[in-house]
């Protein structure tokens, strides 16, 4: 047994959660979502641990101005189920963009996070706003270049 090497596991007091501000204007949706998911998980930090929440909070503004490449804007649909048999809802991208543009980024990031309790905790650290205004000035978010 080797006693010289030990795996480092960060404690709760070792982790600092920063706030980042992302402007989604004219950014491709997928590339934006991968970077946001990476920051939410904490993979950009040297103390990253897969089973702990070491990530940061992310505020996304201008969600209504995110763009898709190719013909995805005409072809992409969002699926949801009401809970009743046969009641599947397929909403086109344009309708979701017109009514709830923040759900587009939330849905893309959700698909890139773990499907467990940790993933649900990380989803709560993502704040998405359709316009340029957000109520998180008190946290002093730093701009994140993507």
The pTM for the full model equals 0.92
Flag residues of the chain having pLDDT under 70.
1-3
Q: Strand 88-92 to strand 77-81: parallel, antiparallel, or no bridges (unpaired)?
A: antiparallel
On whether residue 23 sits in a domain, the answer given is yes
Question: Based on the structure, what is the number of domains in the chain?
Answer: 1
Q: Is residue 38 part of a domain?
A: yes
Q: pLDDT tens-digit profile of 33-65? A: 999 999 999 999 999 999 999 999 999 999 999
- Whether residue 52 lies inside any domain: the answer is yes
Residue 76 lies in a domain: no
Exposure string of 69-93, with b = 16+ CB inside 10 Å and e = fewer, is eeeeeeebeeeeeeeeeeeeeeeeb
At 139, which CATH number?
Answer: 3.90.1180.10
- Domain with 56, as residue range(s), is 18-69+102-143
DSSP 17-69: --EEEEE-TT-BHHHHHHHHHHHHHTTTSTT--TTS----EEEEE-GGG-B--
Residue 131 and residue 59 in contact, taking contact as beta carbons nearer than 8 Å = no
Residue at 126 is within a domain: yes
Query: In this structure, is residue 84 part of a structural domain?
Result: no
């Amino acid at each position: 047994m080797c006693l010289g090497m030990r795996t480092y596991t960060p404690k709760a007091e070792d982790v600092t959660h920063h706030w980042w501000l992302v402007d989604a204007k004219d950014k491709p949706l997928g590339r934006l979502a991968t970077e946001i998911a990476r920051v939410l998980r904490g993979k950009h930090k040297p103390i990253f641990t897969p089973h702990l929440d070491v990530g940061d909070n992310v505020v996304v503004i201008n969600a209504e101005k995110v763009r898709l490449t190719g013909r995805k804007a005409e072809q992409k649909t969002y699926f949801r189920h009401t809970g009743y048999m046969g009641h599947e809802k397929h909403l086109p991208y344009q309708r979701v963009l017109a009514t709830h543009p923040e759900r587009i980024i939330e849905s893309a990031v959700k698909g890139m996070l773990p499907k467990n309790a940790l993933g649900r905790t990380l989803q709560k650290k993502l704040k998405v706003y359709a316009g340029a205004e957000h109520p998180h000035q008190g946290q002093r978010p730093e701009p994140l270049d993507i």
